[in-house]
Chain A
């Protein structure tokens, strides 16, 4: 038989039992739809993550923070030495376990990042740059306006920072890392009652007085807050450590939309109201007695391959280590698992639709036994008969798959619209990413997969058709 005739015969058979064909195809459509949507969402999310940490440099960042001592590995049995009853041993083990789990809020850092440690970290092999993150909290006073009891966060920022200068509303960025200057955030000015861009620009050149108070952290602060503190009138007032007058050289605005940024900057500067040149900020922080060391140190590795080794070394020094690379790979791993699980469910849908195809084709073979017998009596080869049914199955798969992929594409457009508005609402800024992505290979692959599985599902019915004995099929009753 000619290919064209086989296609014609197969489609004639399908249109002959239209409603059955449509129902079977609908099964394939649902399966293909689910599968394509899941893969498309997974692609979109994966791209979102990649875009979020875009720029290879971020993946080479390791953020080092003070360590809170070693935690006990719970998978290892804790040894309690000495002679004692078993009950006592159990009690001591339990106490040790509990203590080992206490988190940062309750504890002061045991291992700080002082100058020595900083030098050691910078010297780790593979580290090409070490950028200190300095933070502090101040009361800020601008003329007769003051933040009062509300302390604003200040961070140290380098004169050559890649992103901050681009966000200046007015004024300039720092000339050097030890300049006695400050760049203020637009929100702080707003909270001081200076609202418009013009009014905010006018503060450039004025003097900002920052006041540091001695401040306890952790448990003591919590208790003092809870009990009303030492001073009467409700609010705790810690003694003043020092005040400093800084020239406001610029006003910086909030990050918005496509503004470039790095994950580490986002984490450190999320609530920053004051930007102070790094080195100068360090000298300010050092004036706080008893609060030695940096809040964090950002190590930049020469290559992504060295991140693991650097992190190991940092941890060995009893410090905390965070890296974008590891976070991303953990998120991606989670995403992979989620995609796999969802894909598995979709595969079940495809499998069920295949059972539908097997059923339909077997029914069709049974119904057409006589016709198949006749074709064989007229000289059809088994191969032709088999092809006829395989093509029928492939047609159902192709049609159902095509429809499924088309619907998935349509739902994707809808999903992107809904998703974008949800993300924009949550993040309060414009979002330009795509949640559901449909590369050509996915569209073609979806149709191809549906066609191929349907084809496979029709193999057994096709073989049954090819084996029909014409004598028996045509016997006259």
Chain B
């Protein structure tokens, strides 16, 4: 039932308004008793052990924790790239466990935007073509996707880099292109796995500021993984700290950045 519901939304349906992110305060993500175990027997690693977490639409959540604490695992489960050993992930009330592989692919393409630490841009293609890619996968007509991709690039401040290839862009610019690609379909949730991990601190600040702007001005719900607590405090509305696959601390912040 849930699977059908999600797949019935056409590619042009607006998932953001669909889950009511603009109305604020509505529960967008609900994670209950989430467990992810790798391997079996003695070699088994529990990357996530009984995680409960709720995220409201419009929130900016920073996931903190040491390397190996399970942050990436949580993001992967959130974005439907991986499936849990136990527990449930609900987005906008729909349980991801009810989706078949195609349903998950559709879920990723409509509800989720992913930003990776190492950008993962396609090297042979222009910034515009990279941003267009999710729309190509959606089967969007050429003209429309050109316009939407250009708009997304404008939103990250790269209107003048449209036809540059990744090798002709700086690290910060590349990550902005990746953010534009993640946003081009207006996802309900933007997940960023250490997006500034490969950037120097000045550039990192710029990217973080961009995320903050997107959250504030466009109401994009963001989950940001970082191990830089200071940076997290400056931009996130809430901080969640993971340790050995468990949430050990959760606190609302006074955002410093403006």
Mark A residues whose CB is within 8 Å of B: 1-2, 5, 9, 12, 16, 370-371, 374-384, 470-471, 474, 476
Contact = CB atoms under 8 A, between A and B. Distances in A.
B146 to A, nearest CB: 13
B134 interface: yes
A5 B133 CA distance: 10
A1 B134 contact: no
B109 A379 contact: yes
Most buried by A among B134, B137, B181: B137
B107 to A, nearest CB: 8
Interface stretch (B18-26, B53-61, B117-125, B208-216): B117-125
Contact of B102 (A2, A383, A476): A383
B81 A470 contact: yes
A1 B117 CA distance: 27
Given A5-B136, A476-B117, A476-B118, A379 B106 contact: yes
Contacts of A377: 79, 81, 108, 114
Nearest to B112: A379
A380 B101 contact: no
A379 B137 contact: yes
Contacts of B147: none
B136 A379 contact: no
B3 to A, nearest CB: 14
Given A371-B122, A379-B106, A384 B137 contact: yes
Given A16-B124, A381-B101, A381-B102, A375 B108 contact: no
B153 to A, nearest CB: 16
B124 A379 contact: no
24 contacts: A1-B136, A1-B139, A2-B136, A9-B136, A376-B81, A378-B133, A378-B137, A379-B105, A379-B108, A379-B109, A379-B110, A379-B134, A379-B137, A379-B138, A380-B109, A381-B102, A382-B101, A382-B102, A383-B102, A384-B137, A470-B81, A471-B81, A476-B116, A476-B194
The prevalent SS among residues of A at the interface is: helix
B159 to A, nearest CB: 22
A44 B76 CA distance: 64
Nearest to B197: A476
Nearest to A15: B124
B140 to A, nearest CB: 8
A370 B120 CA distance: 8
A380 B137 contact: yes
Given A471-B82, A474-B120, A476-B116, A378 B109 contact: yes
Residues of B in contact with A, size category: 20 to 34
A474 to B, nearest CB: 6
A320 B124 CA distance: 79
Given A378-B137, A379-B108, A471-B81, 5 more contacts: A1-B136, A378-B181, A379-B106, A379-B134, A379-B138
A1 B114 CA distance: 20
A382 B116 contact: no
A58 B197 CA distance: 89
Nearest to B134: A378
Interface string B133-162: 110111100000000000000000000000
A477 to B, nearest CB: 9
A471 B79 CA distance: 11
Contact of B133 (A375, A381, A383): A375
A16 B116 CA distance: 25
B122 A374 contact: yes
Nearest to A373: B120
B134 A474 contact: no
B1 to A, nearest CB: 21
A376 B116 contact: no
A315 to B, nearest CB: 72
A386 to B, nearest CB: 12
Contacts of A384: 137
A5 B120 CA distance: 21
Contacts of A470: 81
Contacts of A379: 105-106, 108-110, 134, 137-138
Contact of B76 (A2, A374, A471): A471
**The 9 A-B residue pairs with the shortest CB-CB distance in the complex, in nearest-first order:** A379-B109, A379-B108, A381-B105, A378-B134, A380-B137, A2-B139, A476-B117, A374-B120, A5-B136
A30 B197 CA distance: 51
B163 to A, nearest CB: 16
A376 B120 contact: no
Interface string B197-215: 1000000000000000000
Contacts of A383: 102
